[in-house]
Structure 1
Amino acid sequence: MRNKQINTVYAVVLLFFTLFIVLPAFFIFKNAFSVPGGLSLVHFRDVFVQGKLAQAFWNSTKVSAVSAVITTFLAFILAYTENFTNLPSALKKLLRTCAVFPMLLPTITYGFAIIYSFGKTGLITKVIGRQLFDFYGFNGLVFGYVIYTLPISFTLTKNTMAYIDKRYMVVCRIMGDSALKCFYTAVLQPLWGTIAVSVVQAFFLSFTDFGIPASIGGRYTVIAELLYNTMLGSLPNFNQGAVIAIIMLLPSIVSILLLNYLQKFNVRYNKITKIEMKKNPARDIILALVSAAIITCILSIFAVVFVAPFVQEWPYNMNGTLKNLKSVFADSNLVRVFTNSLIISFFTALLGTMLVYASALVTTRSRLHPHGTLIIESIAQITNTIPGMVLGIAFLLTFKKTFLRNTMAILVFCNMIHFFATPFLMMKGTLDKMNESWETTAAILGDNWIKTVVRIITPNILPTLLEVFCYLFINGMVTISAVVFIAGAKTMVITTKIQELQHFAKFNEIFILSLLILITNLIIKTVKGIAHQQPHRKRQGLPLSHE
């Protein structure tokens, strides 16, 4: 009975991935290689003969590499400030909050915020008195990509740095090593693998992003923009679009190989001892000021998002007004796209959490055959490195003649695949740490596997379920690359609407819609935080919140 239930859940999960990963992948390759009468490389030849792909690929590689190195360096400074200083915990918490703030907004908003901050009449330009740099093209893309990837790199570096055993720094000092040698031996060496992973992840995210180049790419064509123009430009060409999509998978393949290789550089300690850092006010002050400068530079560009839509006419008439806000809520089309975003994000979070939970359960809390476990873990690794735009094109080519076309369901399924990997690893890690004897004990008492999951495992994993739900909801609200090809007129979401509004220079509406995303995501995070506290209060015998 238990095996039958486990196999049923596994079959459902495998069927979902077959329909929404394997089948779309088949259609991408089919469109790339098929010609009337058979298979051919003619579409590849046509794309390479045009010459645009090679230049766009090189542009993407160059700007992504520069951005990844800068991001990793800045993330290291922020993570070091949190883990290796004696700053007050309140300041460290503020640092963490500010560092991940950009994740709550769509990347396409970054570009418009940069325009309104660093343009000739931009907010920062007016404060400083001159335009700092030309933001269209390479410079703007680097800045935008750094803002986009810094939260991910910071979180990755911070989490690993927290597990460094600080006793080795004490040993280094006792042995008379210089401060620089202590830093290299006790901090840098254990982090080389994580630093390399940070560079790879930041590069991959930058290489495949569409939102930032869509707003400030200018004439500096990157591969994501070329792919969009090929698929939805004045002369759409699905065959050549499929070819470019396959080329975009090359960094994905390299990323998988590199990430697997870099795992051997991970340092594991038998025991980690928490010790108080040596008092060094100069170090703390310098790192606090440098970190504050980094955070200020990152967050300052978003200040205009809170200012521009609430003045009469930026930047000529700075008198306050709510007319732009009222006009957005009076526009039924804009209200509809906001509602669409809420619905799609909610069902992405709900169904996505169920998929992640089911996948993690059958791989960690069952006696599934090792090959079955390997399949799901491989799928997670693959989804983690498939660019959102490639996934969107695959869905477009696969379901364009089916009942899913132009429905909210196709957007939900696409998001579930796109954001599957991170929540799955999170859920799997939590389930792995739970007592392995629960299922055995429950079986002896006569419970089947489903009852054990519902009665025992689920109550103990609620915090992680909430974390996964929150993660999927927020990403569903801010994504654009995964849905830009499959959102129709009736199923348009905020991010795709923002892309449309830029062609009409309706930046007030763009910023207000962006603020709606931000406020919604902040509400979700707040609710999750309150929900997290309830079990803790209950365990500690504290009064529960009634808010």
Structure 2
Amino acid sequence: MVHKLWSQRIIQILLLAFFIIFLILPILLLLGRSVVDNGQLSGVYFKEVLTNPEVTKALFRSLKLSFIAAFITAVLAFLTAYALQVTALPRMLKQYTHGMVMLPMLVPTITYGFLLMYLFGNEGIIARFLGEPLFTVYGEKGMLIGYIIYTLPAAFIIINNAFNYIDHRFFYVSQLMHDNGLRRFYHTLLRPLVIPIGNAFILSFILSFTDFGIPASIGADDTVISILLYQTILGSIPKFAQGAVIAMIMLLPALLGFIFLTVIERWNVEHRFAQQYSPNKKPIHDSIIGTLTFILSTIILVIFMVMFVVPFTTNYPYNMQFTLKHIINLLKDEVLVHVYMQSVFVAVCTAVFGTIIAFFSAIISTRTQLAGRKGLNVIAMLTNTVPGMILGLAYLLFFQNSTLKGTFLIVILSIVVHYFTTPYLMAKGAMEKLDKSWDVTSMLLKDSWFETVFKVILPNMKTTIVEMINYYFINAMVTISGVIFLVSTSTQIVSTQINQLQHFNRFTDIFILSILILLTNIIVRVISHLWLRYDKGRELR
């Protein structure tokens, strides 16, 4: 038992040291840069920033767009989850809807703006078909559409998962009491989902408020707070203190989000029993819901299909003849191919290292009796509230004079920390379901703690491990906000390279690189699925 305790304690110390160095200290330094002037506490930088009309205008525009996007996203996410969970729609339609809603997760957000531009812009596909654009997509309207597309998958996952824990017996009770449809909907579905819907709203708001990719590609002259932070730090004259103040301002929505969730916690409904639910066919109801979700899914598909149109035309929009020359030219471009390979390398390293960190953090938190083990839950909550751009800026300041600056390692570490929460919660949830008596049995058999981990715990959560690896890999391939301040000329990845290519109007190359990212992420998911199915079949034989 002593051996077990010390091995656990050493891992706990290493994990805490990792998060102190790569999360807490950089954030504290960022806070210090915003309130310290000439070695003394001062509010001069806050005053300078907050009295700047450009900052206040960008801040209120970000708040407005993020709030509207979060509201629309929460409604669409609920509608989609409702269609999949409560209606008797055909299986193929449900699979199509699920696939299209999740599609945006596989492409960098900076690509969304260019897709919208080529679809709805002045020279876009729709404008050429109708003779004029439907609306001006540049600026606020384009950013709003981009934010909705970007945040819909995350909001959908939260609400769709919550539907699995609803006790449908309340629905039957409501029927027996002859409640009308609206009252039944409110009490049996909407009220139990207040917390997940609130979570989806807050997450969508924070993601929209802190995103850099979408406004960078289609924001035009409508500056938002994330673009202002980027310009302040990487402009012709870097202003780190003012940038730190803007970063602190960008952290406020996360704080307000927690307050909001605390307030609505009083409406939380705990269901102690959940069961498989087979929805009854309601032709009119299902037809309406099915039509709405089909339209939503098709809109997403059409937007992303643009990515597969432009690179295969000779000179869009003037010569629409099919060609492969753009693909061939990019494959001959050693710089872009090298950047793509670097992205895959970063994603693989992030997936492996991040999964190890999240896995052992979950073990220490759930399957040990160590003092302070719950501190990892606090760390997970903290990483969930710190936006990627803020973490990237904190790293830029903290590691400015270290050997980590401008290396792949700091890029990988930033992504691991930024996306830590979800893989940690995946592992934690899986481990809490595993029988804890296995640990006692292992101790009686005189197995070491590591033998218990690798022979018992790990084999029984293969699916979760694979999902953790997929999550880290995909996000490492598409992230831009978290690494925009950390890459150098020698450590560019595809998402940041796209940001550079737009300045040279190389949109065809941007779409080809986006296709490569999309295909890479799909291939990784397919391989993972096939491996799990093969492994399951091997165990049954």
Question: What is the TM-score of this pair, normalised by structure 1?
Answer: 0.96
Following superposition of structure 1 onto structure 2, how do residues 358-377 of structure 1 map, counting pairs within 5 Å? 358-369=360-371, 372-377=372-377
List runs of 5+ in structure 1 lacking aligned partners: 542-547
1:461 alignment counterpart: 461
Equivalent pair of 2:121/2:138 in contact (CA under 8 Å): no
Following superposition of structure 1 onto structure 2, how do residues 433-452 of structure 1 map, counting pairs within 5 Å? 433-452=433-452
- 1:27 to partner: Cα distance: 2.1
User: Cα deviations across residues 444-497 of structure 1 (Å, max 9, x unaligned)?
Assistant: 111121111111111111211111011000000000000000100000010111
2:401 alignment counterpart: 401
CA 1:289–1:303: 2 relative to 1, 3 Å:
same
2:77 alignment counterpart: 75
Is 1:19 equivalent to 2:21 in the alignment? yes
- 1:37 to partner: Cα distance: 4.3
Is 1:215 equivalent to 2:207 in the alignment? no
2:204 alignment counterpart: 202
Once the two structures are overlaid, the 10-residue window that deviates more, 306-315 or 123-132, is: 123-132
Equivalent pair of 1:194/1:266 in contact (CA under 8 Å): no
- 1:95 to partner: Cα distance: 1.5
SS in 1 for 2:138: coil
Following superposition of structure 1 onto structure 2, how do residues 283-362 of structure 1 map, counting pairs within 5 Å? 283-362=285-364
Equivalent pair of 1:68/1:203 in contact (CA under 8 Å): yes
Q: Which residue of 113, 124, 127 maps to 1:125?
A: 127
CA 1:429–1:134: 2 relative to 1, 3 Å:
same
2:386 alignment counterpart: 386
Equivalent pair of 2:340/2:494 in contact (CA under 8 Å): yes
Distance of 2:129 and 2:382 partners within structure 1: 46
SS in 2 for 1:305: helix
Is 1:95 equivalent to 2:132 in the alignment? no
Equivalent pair of 1:255/1:385 in contact (CA under 8 Å): no
Share of identical aligned residues, percent? 40
2:514 alignment counterpart: 514
Once the two structures are overlaid, the 10-residue window that deviates more, 196-205 or 99-108, is: 196-205
- 1:272 to partner: Cα distance: 2.2
SS in 1 for 2:51: helix
Once the two structures are overlaid, the 10-residue window that deviates more, 252-261 or 282-291, is: 252-261
User: Cα deviations across residues 411-453 of structure 1 (Å, max 9, x unaligned)?
Assistant: 0000000000011011100000000111111111111211111
Once the two structures are overlaid, the 10-residue window that deviates more, 21-30 or 389-398, is: 21-30
2:414 alignment counterpart: 414
Distance of 1:130 and 1:533 partners within structure 2: 50
Distance of 1:460 and 1:128 partners within structure 2: 56
CA 1:351–1:364: 2 relative to 1, 3 Å:
same
Distance of 1:275 and 1:422 partners within structure 2: 27
Distance of 2:456 and 2:349 partners within structure 1: 25
CA 1:260–1:449: 2 relative to 1, 3 Å:
farther
Distance of 1:258 and 1:282 partners within structure 2: 37
SS in 2 for 1:157: helix
- 1:264 to partner: Cα distance: 4.8
Once the two structures are overlaid, the 10-residue window that deviates more, 77-86 or 25-34, is: 25-34
- 1:26 to partner: Cα distance: 2.5
Equivalent pair of 2:108/2:479 in contact (CA under 8 Å): yes
1:544 alignment counterpart: none
- 1:321 to partner: Cα distance: 1.0
SS in 1 for 2:314: strand
Once the two structures are overlaid, the 10-residue window that deviates more, 267-276 or 153-162, is: 267-276
2:538 alignment counterpart: 538
CA 1:264–1:359: 2 relative to 1, 3 Å:
farther
- 1:275 to partner: Cα distance: 4.1
Equivalent pair of 2:330/2:509 in contact (CA under 8 Å): yes
- 1:126 to partner: Cα distance: 2.9
Distance of 2:340 and 2:314 partners within structure 1: 24
Q: Which residue of 97, 109, 112 maps to 1:110?
A: 112
- 1:12 to partner: Cα distance: 0.7
SS in 2 for 1:188: helix
Equivalent pair of 2:191/2:267 in contact (CA under 8 Å): no
Distance of 2:36 and 2:191 partners within structure 1: 50
Please tell me the residue identity of whatever aligns with 1:16.
Answer: F
- 1:36 to partner: Cα distance: 2.7
SS in 2 for 1:373: coil
Distance of 1:37 and 1:241 partners within structure 2: 18
Q: Which residue of 31, 55, 59 maps to 1:29?
A: 31
Please tell me the residue identity of whatever aligns with 2:511.
Answer: F
Distance of 1:200 and 1:334 partners within structure 2: 37
Equivalent pair of 2:89/2:286 in contact (CA under 8 Å): yes
- 1:137 to partner: Cα distance: 1.5
Equivalent pair of 1:197/1:262 in contact (CA under 8 Å): no
2:150 alignment counterpart: 148
Equivalent pair of 1:138/1:217 in contact (CA under 8 Å): yes
Once the two structures are overlaid, the 10-residue window that deviates more, 89-98 or 436-445, is: 89-98
State the number of aligned residues. 539
Distance of 1:362 and 1:157 partners within structure 2: 29
Distance of 1:127 and 1:524 partners within structure 2: 37
User: Cα deviations across residues 380-417 of structure 1 (Å, max 9, x unaligned)?
Assistant: 00101101000000011111211111110000000000
User: Cα deviations across residues 59-104 of structure 1 (Å, max 9, x unaligned)?
Assistant: 1110000001111111111111111111222321221111100100
User: Cα deviations across residues 137-190 of structure 1 (Å, max 9, x unaligned)?
Assistant: 211111000000111111111111232223322322222222222212211121
Distance of 2:274 and 2:456 partners within structure 1: 31
Distance of 1:261 and 1:533 partners within structure 2: 43
Distance of 2:30 and 2:4 partners within structure 1: 38
1:502 alignment counterpart: 502
CA 1:361–1:320: 2 relative to 1, 3 Å:
same
Distance of 2:412 and 2:42 partners within structure 1: 34
1:482 alignment counterpart: 482
CA 1:38–1:210: 2 relative to 1, 3 Å:
same
2:428 alignment counterpart: 428
2:237 alignment counterpart: 235
- 1:45 to partner: Cα distance: 2.0
Distance of 2:443 and 2:34 partners within structure 1: 51
List runs of 5+ in structure 2 lacking aligned partners: none
Once the two structures are overlaid, the 10-residue window that deviates more, 196-205 or 120-129, is: 120-129
Equivalent pair of 2:35/2:43 in contact (CA under 8 Å): yes
Following superposition of structure 1 onto structure 2, how do residues 246-257 of structure 1 map, counting pairs within 5 Å? 246-257=248-259
Once the two structures are overlaid, the 10-residue window that deviates more, 227-236 or 36-45, is: 36-45
1:528 alignment counterpart: 528
SS in 2 for 1:301: helix
CA RMSD, 1 decimal: 1.4
- 1:263 to partner: Cα distance: 4.5
Distance of 2:418 and 2:411 partners within structure 1: 10
